[in-house]
Structure 1
Amino acid sequence: MAGVLTPAMPPTDFHHRLDSRMLGPLGAARLWWSFPSDEEARRDAARVPVTPDAPLPDPAAGMLGVTWLGHASALLWVDGVTVLVDPVLSPGIPGAARRLTPPGRTVEGLPPIDAVLISHDHYDHLDVRTLAALPRTTRILAGLNSGTFFRARGFRDVVELDWWDSAGFAGLSGEVRVEFVPARHWSRRTATDRCHRLWGGWTVTAPDGRSVYHAGDTATGPFLERIAARHRRIEIAALPVGAYAPRDLLREVHMDPAEAVRAAEVLRAPRMVPIHWGTFVLSGEPVLEPLEATRRAWARTRRPREDLWDLPIGGSRTL
Structure 2
Amino acid sequence: MRKHRFVNMDSAPANSAARRQLFRWSQDRLQNFLSRDYSECVPNVVPDLRYLQTNRSEPSITWIGHSTFLIQMCGLNIVTDPVWARRMALQKRLAPPGVELSDMPPVDVVLVSHSHYDHLHLASLRRLRGTKRLIVPAGLRHKMLDKGFPLVEELNWWEEVSLHGVKFTFVPAQHWTRRTLWDTNDSHWGGWVMESHAGPTVYFAGDSGYFRGFSEIGRRFGKIDVALMPIGAYEPEWFMAPQHISPEDALRAYRDVRADYFVPMHYGSFKLADDTPRDALERLEAERCRLNIAEDRIFMLHHGETMRFAIGNSVFR
The answer, yes or no, to whether TM exceeds 0.5 is yes
Give the whole-Å Cα distance in 1 for the aligned partners of 2:295 and 2:26.
35
Q: What letter corresponds to residue 243 of structure 2 in structure 1?
A: V
Match of 2:314 in 1: none
Task: Return the alpha-carbon distance in structure 2 between the equivalents of residues 122 and 156 of structure 1.
Answer: 21
1:147 to 1:20, Cα distance in 2 relative to 1, 3 A:
same
* Counterpart in the other structure of 2:45: 51
Q: CA deviation at 1:301?
A: 2.4
Other-structure match for 2:33 = 37
Question: Among residues 102, 109, 115, which one is paired with 2:109 in the alignment?
Answer: 115
Matches within 5 A, 1:196-275: 196-207=186-197, 210-275=200-265
Q: RMSD of the TM alignment (CA)?
A: 2.2
- Identity, % of aligned pairs? 30
Cα distance in structure 2, aligned partners of 1:213 and 1:308: 15
Q: CA deviation at 1:137?
A: 4.0
Question: Out of 61, 69, 78, which is 1:66 matched to?
Answer: 61
Q: Does the CA-based 8 Å contact 1:99-1:279 persist in structure 2? A: yes
Aligned partner of residue 141 in structure 1, secondary structure: strand
Residue of structure 1 in register with 2:140 after alignment: 146
Q: Which residue type is aligned with residue 82 of structure 1? A: N
Distance 1:244 1:158 in 2: 31
Q: Which amino acid aligns with 1:85?
A: T
Contact preservation (8 Å) 2:268, 2:276: no
Contact 1:274 1:309 in 2 (8 A): yes
Structure 1 residue 298, shift from structure 2 partner: 1.7
Work out whether residues 106 and 129 of structure 2, in 8 Å CA contact, stay in contact via their aligned partners in 1: no
Task: Please state how far the C-alpha of 1:136 moved relative to its aligned partner.
Answer: 8.0
C-alpha separation in 1, matches of 2:36 and 2:47: 27
Letter in 1 for 2:60: G
Contact in 2 for aligned 1:34/1:283 (Cα 8 Å): no
| Distance in structure 2 (CA, Å) of the matches to 1:317 and 1:122 | 27
CA contact (8 A) 1:31 1:283 kept: no
Matched with 2:120 is 126
Answer yes or no: is the 8 Å Cα contact 1:137–1:155 preserved in 2.
no
1:248-302 Cα shifts (integer Å, max 9, x gaps): 1111111000110111111111100000001111111133211221122222222
Partner in structure 1 of residue 4 of structure 2: 12
Give the secondary-structure state (helix, strand or coil) at the position aligned to 2:168: strand
Task: Structure 2: give runs of 5+ residues left out of the alignment.
Answer: 310-317
Which ranges in structure 1 are unaligned for 5 or more consecutive residues?
A: 1-10
The CA distance in 2 between the partners of 1:313 and 1:33, in whole Å, is 32
Residues 76, 212 of structure 1: 8 Å contact kept: no
3-state SS, counterpart of residue 44 of structure 1 = coil
TM-score relative to the length of structure 1? 0.87
